[in-house]
Amino acid sequence: MPYRICTSIEVESGHMLSKHPGLCKYPHGHSRRVELIVEAGQLNAHEMVCDFKVLKDALNDTLRAFDHALCVNTRDPNFGPLKAAFGERIVAFEAQDPTTEILARAIFDALNQRLAADAAHPRAQYPFAPGTRIVRVRVWETSHSWAEYSEG
């Protein structure tokens, strides 16, 4: 059985779901909690999958774009005016609604790229164990509702 570690961070982010038939089509926000779980079959030289600091930093860097921002489908008729008015605080989702499921996948993909970059250029001070992989990213939309993405 592999070793697993998890970290989470909270972020305030909003979205609008243009394909939704109800109130979610309007701009609204959530206090989201994002959980990241990684695993490795063996530990690194420090007897860790990796230091929690590395995971927190990776998650924090990835979520910075979503913090106090509004995620919007690029096909939503309001996308252009919102982007013009609020710039980088509007996060574009190309031709898809930024549902919690889509956010989980986007965060997973961004963190997976970061993990691959770190594997290609190991950190001397905070190395990952060989074969470290992301198990899943879970995004809580409310205190009782979440969506997650994993591969495999």
- pTM of this prediction? 0.94
Residue-level pLDDT at 116: 87
| 58-65: average pLDDT | 94
- Number of domains, the chain: 1
Residue-level pLDDT at 127: 87
Full domain range(s) for residue 108: 3-149
Q: 9: which strand partners?
A: 34
Average pLDDT, the chain: 95
Most confident residue range from 46-50, 100-104, 121-125: 100-104
69-103 pLDDT, tens digit per residue, is 999 999 999 999 999 999 999 999 999 999 999 99
Q: How far apart are CA 98 and CA 85, in angstroms?
A: 19
Dihedrals phi, psi of 89, to nearest 5 degrees: -80, 0
Looking up residue 59, the CATH number of its domain turns out to be 3.30.479.10
